[in-house]
Amino acid sequence: MVDLKRIFVKGGILSPSELRQIVNYAESLGLDALHFGSRQDIIFPKHEENEEVESQFSKISTSMISDIRYQNIVSSYVASDIFNATTWLSSATHLYIMESFKFNPQLKINIVDPKQQLVPLFSGQLNFIASTHEDYWYLQLKLPNWNEPVFYPVLIYSWDIAKIAKVIEEVYSDADDVEELFVLINGQLETNSRTIETDLKVLFKPFPYYEGMNKMGINQYWLGLYWRNNLYYLDFLKDFCDFCLDNRIGKICITPWKSFIVKGIPKESKLMLERLLGKAGINIRHSLLELNWHLPVSDPEALSLKKFIVRDFDQNDMSTYGLTFSIANRKESNIYFTSIVVEKNNAPNIVKGYQVRATYNVLYSENFDPNSRKYKVYAQDVDKIELSGLLMELSKMYFNHFGKEIVDEGLQENKENVLPNKEVFQCQDCLTIYDDSYGDENADIESNTLFKNLPSDYQCDVCTGSKENFKAIKVQY
């Protein structure tokens, strides 16, 4: 991602003329397609830089930037009017809040409706989540260098969101906790906050089907478009922008699932749009098996793995209704927002430079609800060939407990048999575990020897990594 150019589209909302400008810009750089990103941004495939073209684009479009120092604002505007919504939160309210941001944020900001499932609630660092009180929002903070996410102690007024976000960026590094941050903000701003009467509760809802032509009210339609390879070809995008302009369609909305949605298509223009899609050879009725995946941008290996798994699902007539999946390279900084995660392990340093077979971990969110932000390990260090079967097992577990809370790994029927998580230490190079219950016989370390009591020159039994290379993790036996 560091090597790719990103165009930030505030809230994932842009006009057809703005998208046309971006398409023209991409064409002038010699590109023939664009990617969409998980933060509702637009990402260019790798290309040669052109300073003259860059300069011209920056003069044309002042609302969209590509500076890597900044982050795109994510919003649930894309779901407004077509999916479940908080009663008071309209499309217009989303737009007004987006307009109130007169600065380019360096923290990841989400402004979302908890009643919808299309846009993740907690994938940002400042997560503003609509409350039941009109024009008031919860704020969940997951700031850099803070160990745990916390909630701000009051509800935020809609028209204070932008200025509070700006002050948080300026002062959060001076605060050790949310109470200190609250004092610092109140010292700089007068806000129209409200006392929190009840904690935020987000109920699980199945992931929606978001593709195809769908009715919207009496005389309008909305369209969701998705490409398997996340390559949106410029020739089609130009024709599509022209169609939107000719039919007075004001907004195009990018989703976090690397797709886009267009609302307000006039009934009389539906046939014209279907003809445009047909001429371009575009399929708009993919299976939900395809639509509920989140993959890294420009990662052909992840795309190939997804195709492999989806093909197995299809051949086994699997249903994944309501579930979401992601494939990611294992990193400490990863923030997941899907029900089930396939993590690719990093190759140990000892074999770097050699061709080794990839291994994967499979995780799932508590109760299969990604908004729980708690993930459990289902399998570790498995081969690619095992993944489809493991994901099918998890899918069946999900349906067995659909609408109920799930206990433990779903594999134990007696709650009394559930064992607590245990702290062990894992080598960060080769993933070897040191468990004090067993010690390390090869290093003459007796059982029940605490990790902190190991000699300072202790080394990993497999890759000879130092004691400092081990990190505490929780496992469930």
State residue 188 phi and psi, 5-degree precision: -110, -20
Residues 6+ apart with CB under 8 A from 450: 436
Residues 77 and 217 in one domain: yes
Using pLDDT thresholds of 50, 70 and 90, give the confidence band for residue 407. Answer: very low
Give pLDDT, residue 130.
97
The answer to whether residue 163 sits within a structural domain is no
The answer to whether residue 370 sits within a structural domain is yes
Among the listed residues 33, 65, 28, the one whose alpha carbon sits nearest the alpha carbon of residue 46: 33
CA distances from 52 to 20, 55, 57, 75, 425 (A): 19, 5, 9, 32, 53
pLDDT: is 57 or 75 the higher one? 75
Residues 116 and 234 in one domain: yes
The answer to whether residue 266 sits within a structural domain is yes
Give pLDDT, residue 65.
61
The answer to whether residue 156 sits within a structural domain is no
Task: Convert the pLDDT of each residue in 7-53 to its tens digit.
Answer: 889 999 999 999 998 999 888 888 899 999 999 999 888 656 656 55
Using pLDDT thresholds of 50, 70 and 90, give the confidence band for residue 418. Answer: very low
Tokens of 186: 């109140």
Instruction: Choose the most confident range, by mean pLDDT, from 177-181, 297-301, 432-436.
Output: 177-181
Burial (CB count within 10 angstroms: exposed 0-12, middle 13-18, buried 19+), residue 27: middle
Give pLDDT, residue 404.
57
Tokens of 465: 């990594």
Residues 411 and 423 in one domain: no
Tokens of 233: 């070809």
Residues 260 and 375 in one domain: no
What's the distance, Cα to Cα, between the start and end of the chain in Å?
36
The answer to whether residue 449 sits within a structural domain is yes
Q: Characterise 298 by phi-psi region: left (phi > 0), alpha (psi -120 to 50), beta (else).
A: left
Using pLDDT thresholds of 50, 70 and 90, give the confidence band for residue 335. Answer: confident
Distance in angstroms (rounded) separating the CA atoms of residues 461 and 455: 14
Q: Final residue of a domain: which of 269, 286, 303?
A: 286
Tokens of 466: 């130092």
Q: Name the domain count of the chain.
A: 3
How is 126-148 classified by DSSP, letter by letter? EEEEE-SSTTEEEEEE--TT-SS
Tokens of 282: 């575009």
Q: Which domain holds residue 294?
A: 290-415
Q: How many CB atoms lie within 10 A of CB 377?
A: 16
Residues 342 and 308 in one domain: yes
Q: Final residue of a domain: which of 393, 415, 437?
A: 415
Whole-model pTM: value is 0.79
Distance in angstroms (rounded) separating the CA atoms of residues 58 and 63: 9
Distance in angstroms (rounded) separating the CA atoms of residues 156 and 167: 13
